[in-house]
């Protein structure tokens, strides 16, 4: 099946033949749907903190930050902005020259409100000899869009979202990268004022990210009285997945095996490489201007406070279990903690002898832990919080995408459609055990939660394999806690016109 050239390519990418065989088997068999217990909701897996609890959690986080622990803010930032401009690319290629769709009309009507307007105006003058207003008055709309998207102009159609100007300030416009630096200073600075921010980027844009950081980092360090440690990584070639043809054989392009990036689940490796105790995870485009950052900061601190509070309790129980001196009443207390605080249930737990019970409790407590903010469902596409069955028969909290749920089963479909909450990708993670050793995060991935999509290459259809998503199957075997956070903390930018929403002005 594999030629000598194939084997050479595998060695170069750091991919084993066994992994290729595993991936081809998934194309053959598909991925199983997850067995659901229920959609998570308030009182059933989603926490809502009372006012006095909020205060306690915020204080717990502030106290934790004053210790010696390493806190990192992790931002997946490799995504290109091309999808943000899909409608404008369509306008450029359309057989009409004036804005026709509602989207196109809104873009031009509100063009002065974009943070990149001044840069675009300069580009238009430079390349057409006319400013934007003159071009629009003369019904020359396409040159404006061309100067925004194409390489001769601002090249926004090919840049990553993190480098686009999103928000206006008196002192100049800010990119999402800069907004994340500011956020880091507001909730992730340690006692020495050090802020660790890690961006995952694509190789082609790494230098542009580094250049922007060099230009801006001193400005924000001075403004917020912090010291930044900004680092970057790229998705590893070893996490690429082989493509298959429609008969589930390796897809070949000019005789060579075709590999594709494995999706955001590949970033579990990047996360695993970080030297950290606590890691915040948030998408690059979910940022707001300073005037709206209050809720973001409060709720980031809240979920971090929940995390360190529950971690402290889990560590105390692990020390008790490892010490060997515990009573049956204490074991029952640990069971309650596992079931009520960590939402992890074992239906047949009563059948376990004490010795078996201790092994089970220790195994479930001694895992990475994450707290995920959940917003009320407003019909945005994306995953939701569920109670699902695991391979060992236990039930725990999981973030699931629709592709993991059997939509042909009316009961499961209804669970998904009536879900009260939605995953905005707002996580804080604890990645060391109670002795201070790093967990090997790769060991906690549920490999059976990948996803197969259909693509094409040079006109030939192919199947592509996405690895278990970073906050889905890649964190399947973690202890998971869901906390309700307000919708004001979720402001993603999926299209360029989203920047016209009040939250981004």
Distances in Å between the Cα of 66 and the Cα atoms of 61, 86, 307 are 9, 46, 16
Give the H or E element holding residue 194: strand 194-200
Question: CB of 27 within 8 A of CB of 464?
Answer: no
pLDDT band at 13 (very low <50, low <70, confident <90, very high): confident
Residues 174, 288: Cα–Cα separation, whole Å: 10
Residues 314, 365: Cα–Cα separation, whole Å: 6
Distances in Å between the Cα of 324 and the Cα atoms of 318, 319, 327, 351 are 10, 9, 9, 21
Residues 495, 483: Cα–Cα separation, whole Å: 28
* pLDDT tens digits, 85-120: 999 999 999 999 999 999 999 999 999 999 999 999
Residues 236, 262: Cα–Cα separation, whole Å: 10
Residue 223 token pair: 């403004």
Residues 376, 424: Cα–Cα separation, whole Å: 10
Res 333: pLDDT = 96
Residues 77, 149: Cα–Cα separation, whole Å: 19
Residues 93, 97: Cα–Cα separation, whole Å: 9
pLDDT band at 505 (very low <50, low <70, confident <90, very high): very high
Res 40: pLDDT = 94
Res 382: pLDDT = 64
Residues 239, 200: Cα–Cα separation, whole Å: 14
Res 54: pLDDT = 94
Q: In terms of DSSP H, where are the helices of 40-141?
A: 51-65, 86-93, 102-109, 117-128, 132-137
Cβ partners under 8 Å of residue 170, min gap 6: none
Q: How many angstroms from the chain centroid is the CA of residue 192?
A: 28
Residue 381 token pair: 């596409």
Cβ partners under 8 Å of residue 74, min gap 6: 198, 200, 270, 271, 274, 279, 280, 281
Residues 120, 132: Cα–Cα separation, whole Å: 8
Res 381: pLDDT = 57
Res 101: pLDDT = 97
Whether residue 404 is predicted with pLDDT greater than 70 in this model: the reply is: yes
Give the H or E element holding residue 463: strand 460-466
How many other β-carbons are positioned within 10 Å of the β-carbon of residue 267?
A: 24
The closest of 166, 87, 145, 148 to 493, measured between CA atoms, is 166
- Backbone φ and ψ for 109, nearest 5 degrees, come out as -60, -35
3-state secondary structure at position 377? coil
Res 80: pLDDT = 83
pLDDT band at 6 (very low <50, low <70, confident <90, very high): confident
Residues 236, 74: Cα–Cα separation, whole Å: 16
* pLDDT tens digits, 451-487: 898 888 888 899 999 999 999 999 999 999 999 999 9
Q: What is the mean pLDDT of residues 281-303?
A: 96
Residues 126, 154: Cα–Cα separation, whole Å: 11
Whether residue 1 is predicted with pLDDT greater than 80 in this model: the reply is: no
3-state secondary structure at position 119? helix
Distances in Å between the Cα of 217 and the Cα atoms of 172, 177, 281, 296 are 15, 10, 20, 21
Distances in Å between the Cα of 322 and the Cα atoms of 84, 335, 477 are 52, 16, 21
Residue 368 token pair: 């990475």
* Beta bridge pairs of residue 375: 422
Residues 101, 495: Cα–Cα separation, whole Å: 14
* pLDDT tens digits, 227-242: 999 999 999 999 999 9
Dmax over CA atoms of the chain, in Å, equals 84
* pLDDT tens digits, 204-221: 999 999 999 999 999 999
Residues 279, 196: Cα–Cα separation, whole Å: 10
* pLDDT tens digits, 228-287: 999 999 999 999 999 999 999 889 888 888 999 888 899 999 999 999 999 999 999 999
Residues 385, 189: Cα–Cα separation, whole Å: 29
Residue 38 token pair: 């229920």
Question: CB of 75 within 8 A of CB of 197?
Answer: yes
Residues 318, 320: Cα–Cα separation, whole Å: 5
Write out the E strands in 326-424: 369-376, 384-389, 395-400, 421-422
Length of the chain: 505
Residues 209, 479: Cα–Cα separation, whole Å: 34
Question: CB of 34 within 8 A of CB of 449?
Answer: yes
Give the single-character DSSP code of 34: P
End-to-end CA distance of the chain: 56
Res 95: pLDDT = 95
């Amino acid at each position: 099946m594999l030629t000598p050239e194939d084997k050479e390519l595998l060695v170069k990418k750091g991919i084993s033949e066994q992994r290729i065989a595993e991936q081809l088997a998934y194309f053959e068999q598909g991925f199983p749907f997850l067995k659901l217990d229920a959609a998570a909701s308030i009182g059933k897996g989603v926490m809502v903190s009372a006012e006095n609890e909020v205060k306690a959690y915020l204080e717990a986080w502030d106290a934790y930050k004053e210790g010696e622990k390493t806190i990192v803010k992790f931002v997946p930032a490799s995504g290109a902005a091309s999808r943000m401009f899909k409608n404008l690319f369509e306008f450029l290629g359309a057989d009409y020259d004036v804005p026709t769709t509602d989207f196109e009309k809104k873009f031009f009507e509100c063009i002065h409100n974009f943070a990149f307007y001044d840069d675009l105006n300069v580009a238009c003058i430079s390349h057409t000899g006319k400013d934007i207003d003159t071009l629009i008055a003369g019904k020359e709309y396409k040159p404006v869009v061309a100067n925004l998207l194409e390489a001769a102009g601002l090249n926004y159609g090919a840049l990553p979202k993190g480098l686009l100007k999103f928000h206006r300030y008196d002192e100049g416009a800010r990119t999402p990268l800069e907004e994340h630096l500011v956020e880091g200073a507001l909730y992730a600075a340690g006692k020495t004022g050090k802020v660790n921010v890690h961006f995952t980027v694509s190789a082609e844009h790494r230098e542009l990210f580094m250049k922007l950081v060099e230009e801006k980092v001193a400005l924000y360090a001075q403004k917020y009285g912090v010291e930044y440690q900004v680092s970057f990584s790229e998705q590893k070639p070893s996490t690429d997945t082989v493509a298959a043809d429609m008969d589930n054989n390796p897809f070949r392009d000019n005789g060579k095996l075709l590999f594709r990036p494995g999706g955001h689940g590949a970033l579990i490796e990047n996360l695993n490489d970080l030297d950290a105790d606590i890691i915040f995870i948030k998408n690059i485009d979910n940022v707001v201007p300073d005037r709206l950052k209050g809720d973001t900061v409060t709720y980031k601190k809240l979920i971090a406070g929940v995390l360190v509070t529950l971690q402290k309790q889990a560590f105390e129980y692990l020390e008790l279990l490892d010490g060997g001196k515990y009573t049956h009443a204490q074991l029952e207390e640990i069971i309650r903690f596992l079931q009520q605080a960590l939402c992890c249930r074992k239906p047949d737990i009563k059948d376990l002898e004490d010795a078996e019970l201790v092994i089970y409790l220790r195994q479930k407590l001694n895992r990475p832990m994450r707290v995920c903010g959940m917003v009320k469902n407003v019909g945005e596409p994306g995953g939701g919080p569920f109670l699902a069955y695991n391979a060992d028969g236990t039930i725990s909290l999981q973030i699931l995408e629709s592709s993991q749920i059997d939509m042909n089963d009316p009961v499961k479909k209804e669970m998904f459609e009536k879900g009260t909450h939605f995953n905005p990708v707002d996580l804080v993670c604890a990645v060391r055990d109670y002795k201070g050793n790093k967990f090997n995060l790769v060991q906690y991935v549920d490999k059976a939660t990948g996803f197969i999509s259909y693509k094409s290459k040079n006109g030939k259809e192919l199947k592509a394999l996405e690895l278990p998503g970073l906050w889905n199957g890649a964190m399947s075997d973690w202890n998971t806690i869901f906390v309700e956070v307000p919708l004001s903390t979720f402001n993603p930018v999926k299209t360029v016109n989203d920047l016209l929403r009040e939250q981004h002005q």
